[in-house]
Amino acid sequence: MSPPVYKRILLKISGEVLAGEQSFGLDARMIQYIASEVSEVAAMGVEVAVVIGGGNIFRGIDAADGGMERASADYMGMLATMLNALALQNALEKLGTVTRVQSAIDMRQLAEGYIRRRAIRHLEKKRVVIFAAGTGNPYFSTDTAAALRAMEIGAEIILKGTKVSGIYDADPMKNPKAVKFDRLSFLAVIDKRLKVMDSTAISLCMDHNLPIIVFNVKEKGNIKRIVQGEQLGTLVKDEVGQA
């Protein structure tokens, strides 16, 4: 087995992935599958942090578009991420993987409050750390939370798990002729308005040269392959020539 090329990673999982084939809610089989993929990588000695979205339960921006006050809607979305985080924690610990959930909003009966140094210490002890409640602030997405936490804990890369195999010039679920990019620069992502992460998250990663790999998390073994150095999905990184 090839040794891992990364010591510490941050995995970003959208809430929609956790819904599986459902349009809403948590799919128990998908939670178990994601847990098994994360557990396998953690067993290799890789330090793994996870940020989970909440879109399978509640999307704050959609509720705001429907007339709800944006800050309230975003806080509700943060609570949805906590449900997903606890579900993943339970599935991981059933596999024998030690975890900690840290929340950006104080919920002491459910999770630790987010403290950067404590999170790093958990990772050093090979515990999987699940970050819930986004940044704790409205108007910021869980993509931005992923970028922020990755930089705070010193992650070497962000792995963004999606339902497609990388970044395309159009939605591959709707356009079968969509072309996949193997590599992109941060500026190309912004210029082409590609829906990788929101512009705040991309700008943060660009400013600190934190690479992102967008890949299909639903294909078994992909996280392990990436950690072992296999070229999968789309790499977003500075100093990449891209038309």
The verdict on residue 2 lying in a domain is no
User: CA torsion 23→25→29→35, rounded to 10°?
Assistant: 120
Number of domains in the chain: 1
The domain of 124 spans 8-236
Q: 4 and 45 in contact (C-beta within 8 Å)?
A: yes
Alpha-carbon distance of 183 to 104, in angstroms, equals 33
The verdict on residue 242 lying in a domain is no
> Which CATH number fits the domain that encloses residue 123?
3.40.1160.10
DSSP at 30: H
The pLDDT, as a whole number, for residue 241 is 43
The verdict on residue 1 lying in a domain is no
236: tokens are 């977003």
The pLDDT profile of the chain, 243 residues, written as one tens digit per residue, is: 789 999 999 999 999 999 998 888 999 999 999 999 999 999 999 999 999 999 999 877 787 788 899 999 999 999 999 999 999 999 999 999 999 999 999 999 999 999 999 999 999 999 999 999 999 999 999 999 999 999 999 999 999 999 999 999 988 888 989 999 999 999 999 999 898 899 999 999 999 999 999 999 999 999 999 999 999 999 999 864 443
The pLDDT, as a whole number, for residue 221 is 97
Q: Please, how many CA atoms are within 13 Å of residue 151, restricted to the half-sphere of its CB? A: 17
